[in-house]
Structure 1
């Protein structure tokens, strides 16, 4: 997974990539001109296989920290930012054996003003909460069932019943359900309530948003096997009305989704990346609980699009669609006309065999024009496509994340308090967290690597201030480590 953000508070966009093959997180600090410093690799532990990262200030020092989800080692790793801009892996926290954590979300679940971490554990069919002390450390995990053999693959948090307490929604892959766990405001959760996503649907992705503009949060779900989108319409009291499924096309298999007003009519539309049918689909909203049949745009035969993003890439006031094409090792751009119509896909080729895993956009060279960054899971690098103001891009610049690093998840934040964005990457192949510090001109310093442990497979991370010391720290979740880890930034 890949992320773009200002990691070091320098107003320059940096890139963080997860390298599962190299078991590290790679950080490329941006110089603001479309170029980046060499990658700093932060090990996440041998065999950790980092996939996903998340960010927050875990120690209240106003510095961005990271958490890495390590699927193979069943753990989360905490990386706290230090005064010199580096990260220190301060703690690993077990998520249980075998738990296989897949994703993490950060929120204040006990209303004490300190950030907490919740992970979804696929193999143990639980969510696990780690309550934060505000100093970079956490309580041991307390788990809550998502259902027998539910195998949750994704989660997100929001206040579903308007009680100012954070709740959790999970996508349960094996039981074909969406699980809702209402927060009690003290760090604990009520028993899960399951809503069917349809027999054999296999939900893989969800997002929380008020899609009907009624001031109640809804849950939008992508069903891979059923080739459909379903919406759980929030009633504002913690319960939901299950809407009818909307087809994304026969055997389309949506892998990723985004939500935006694509035709400028004031209503939110749904955009999906259809992995099997090699298309991007747009479901336009026509009123409350009503979406039309998908309008499809081809991404080329065998492209297998697996990640989609929406932004105004050419600054013409119209939203455009970006897609990572896993099968053809390319980035596709559909330029929009502000009326819901799009041009034929413009293709930018990546390295042969790169297998782009994730796509994002950001202003890396301070020209107020969006550039593109993508993680290449098989060629162990990230790619930067710098943008001209006419909607085209310059030659692609690749930054290595290390041999066999397998970059997946990237988080962005100011890790060394220099006002420049830095990058943190989970490298599942090399079991480490990789950091690259931004120089403010689009380039990055050399990568710094933080090992997590043998066979950890760090999957996700987050940057936050754990200990209220004005430095950002890092929390990591590893697939095989059975615990989470923290990297606390030292003064």
Structure 2
């Protein structure tokens, strides 16, 4: 920095110069308004602060000219406070008197200086509200940015940038249309916003982009256990039988639910018993029964409905009833004799899935049994929770060929109610014609017992689990000769073990074998019947109302129904007969069923009629062990049927009848008329 001697003294007359130097301005701030580095100037004693000097430099009273090197204005005109003058005098190389010709007309006022009419503000400054201020066009409002843009000041100018949601060069900004790419789904309407959009969703949808279908089933709108199916802004209800309406809220045919009027449809076929009749759970008066959803007087006898027959062309012999596909409706299994020829023996299984209304679906057919299949039971042999089918196979025209059982395992969850190829196990004796199932050794695994009419034997075959069976154990039973011999499994003495009941048509008696709980049985105890006729089929029930299990059997060529009174301990009285018909007809080993068919609380029975016209004969119980014969109910299929079973196929609380007819190749269902 160059020192120009005497340049300022010629302009000002300043007294007591040495005193002014003592009161000098000390500043370590290089940004002081005079532009100099005053760090080493003067003494610190009594010095003004840099802030004071800065303020006084701008708002002082003595004008000086400061060389700043600007092209337009090489000098900056400053007002210097008297107390700061000594500091500036030490740097006269940068300061000249205002009156110096080199400064005249070339000076400018610095930032923060009061405006002067004769001296302009320096470059980059403008006079604003009486003070030289930086040229911030953004603050001064002199920029040309769009109203939807942001102005940013720069050292020499400014920039414009469009705000979020707008596009352009900053001088001109236009709104970006966020709806242009159709962000709203499922028919929603897009409404453009500033850097955003909103969707007005179509009915049935929700979400920021209408992407979510509203589940109208979430609030369970379907009543009375109806099944809800979600739709678009809608739902549908699949109603249970007897209910209707958008929400299954009404009874079929009327809104008058539980009004006691059966014609409105709500109370049809939903009865359980006289104490809880129909869907309304009504209690019937004393002596009344529940029928067709209403209370009525019990009929004096059975009321069979109209027979329903379907083709079964594989020589059907015997039916069994069970729910094998787990849908809650009972199904029908049939053991088929097929040819029955000694040259080409074979047996098979037919399955008819039930619809729950006493009708059935088309036949499913399974082959593979080595001999004629004579009877079938449904039982879970492998412990998987699904009922399997087991047939007993044997032929009396092959007297030296041992019979067998064929196990058809249910495919379960993969194909409910369908079956695999059979696995065969020997009965160890020829002429095997009938079977029953129980747990003879109390191991939780199903066992099988069969009868042999060739050698008058019972074969006990214990299950091994997983669908397998062990070697048979044989028990001799006198007089089981003839295909009319049958076998049944039932706990007769209340000890929890399955006992055996075997009929011997040749000796007209009933044999009881009490289980020992380990797979063996006590010696058979025989009971004769009063008429000394054949004893063929077996049915169970309390025929005399004493709370103890009794046995019914058809016999004497179909002329009698025999009642063997139970003592509750596995012993029985000899059979007492009720006359069925004076006509001599052939017996059937599976020719009797028992249930309360007319709802009066007393055990009734049906006997199979095997004449060429075919049919069943009702035997109405009197509650004391006696029965009254009714007229034969024709099945509409000829020649006569071979076997009978009873079960509630339509869920109305009363058992229906199932019959097989080998001669006509049919399966017949007779619904209960109540």
Give the TM-score band, short-chain normalised: 0.5 to 0.7
Instruction: State the distance in 2 between where 1:300 and 1:483 align.
Output: 34
| Residue 435 (structure 2) aligns with | 257
Q: Secondary structure at the match of 1:356?
A: coil
Q: 1:320 aligns with which of 499, 502, 514?
A: 499
One of 378, 382, 388 as aligned partner of 1:218: 388
Deviation, 1:391, is 4.0
Query: Which of 366, 370, 380 pairs up with 1:194?
Result: 366
Q: 1:420 aligns with which of 579, 595, 602?
A: 602
Shift, 1:400, TM fit? 1.0
State the partner residue of 2:299. 84
- Find the counterpart in structure 1 of residue 629 from structure 2: 447
Q: Give matches, 1:23-422, under 5 Å.
A: 83-87=298-302, 91=306, 95=309, 119=310, 121=312, 125=313, 150-156=314-320, 160=324, 169-174=333-338, 176-180=347-351, 189=361, 192-198=364-370, 201-225=371-395, 227-236=403-412, 237-238=414-415, 239-251=418-430, 253-300=431-478, 303-304=481-482, 306-350=485-529, 354-378=533-557, 380-389=559-568, 391-404=570-583, 406=585, 408=588, 409-422=591-604
Q: 1:281 to 1:365 in 2, by over 3 A?
A: same
SS in 2 for 1:219: strand
Look up the SS of the partner of 2:455 in the other structure: coil
Tell me the residue number matched to 1:112.
none
Post-superposition Cα deviations, 1:241-271, rounded to whole Å, max 9, x if no partner, equal 43532111142x2211111101111111111
Q: Measure the CA separation in 1 of the matches of 2:463 and 2:409.
A: 14
Contact 2:635/2:668 (<8 A) preserved: no
Equivalents in 2 of 1:377, 1:234: separation in Å? 39
1:227 to 1:165, Cα distance in 2 relative to 1, 3 A: same
Deviation per CA, 1:324-364: give whole Å up to 9, x if none: 11222211111222222211111122367622221233333
Quick one: structure 1 residues 356 and 242, their matched pair in 2 at CA, closer, same or farther if it must change by over 3 Å?
same
Match of 1:12 in 2: none
Mean CA deviation greater in 166-175 or 306-315: 166-175
Unaligned 5+ runs, structure 2: 1-267, 275-291, 339-345, 396-401
Q: TM (normalized to structure 1)?
A: 0.61
Distance 1:359 1:428 in 2: 16
Deviation of the 1:376 alpha carbon: 0.3
After superposition, the C-alpha distances for 1:1-38 in whole angstroms (9 at most, x for unaligned) are xxxxxxxxxxxxxxxxxxxxxxxxxxxxxxxxxxxxxx
Contact 1:322 1:334 in 2 (8 A): yes
CA contact (8 A) 2:404 2:426 kept: yes
Structure with higher strand content: 1
Q: 1:244 to 1:191 in 2, by over 3 A?
A: closer
Q: How many residues align?
A: 361
Report the RMSD for the aligned CA atoms in angstroms. 4.1
Matching residue of 1:106? none
Task: Work out whether residues 405 and 427 of structure 2, in 8 Å CA contact, stay in contact via their aligned partners in 1.
Answer: yes
From the superposition, tell whether residues 240 and 431 of structure 1 become closer, same or farther in structure 2 (CA, over 3 Å).
closer
Give the SS at the match of 2:335. strand
SS of 2:621's equivalent in the other structure is coil
1:352/1:233 CA distance change after superposition, 3 Å: same
In the aligned structure 1, how far is the partner of 2:366 from the partner of 2:667?
Answer: 27
Query: In the alignment, is the contact (CA less than 8 A) between 2:429 and 2:457 conserved in 1?
Result: no
**Distance across 2 between alignment mates of 1:363 and 1:179:** 33
| TM-score normalised according to structure 2 size | 0.46
Change (3 A) 1:416 1:344: closer
Aligned in 2, Cα 1:276/1:422: closer, same or farther, shift over 3 Å? same
Q: Quick one: higher RCO (CA 8 Å, sep 6+), 1 or 2?
A: 1
Alpha-carbon contact 1:413-1:463 (below 8 Å) kept:
no
Distance 1:82 1:248, change over 3 A: farther
Rounded Cα–Cα distance in structure 1 between residues aligned with 2:616 and 2:427:
37
Task: Give the distance between the partners of 2:669 and 2:323, measured in 1 at CA.
Answer: 27
Q: Take 2:636 and 2:391, find their aligned partners in 1: how far apart are those partners?
A: 35
Q: Is the 8 A contact 1:63 1:464 kept in 2?
A: no
Which structure's residues are more often helix, by fraction?
2
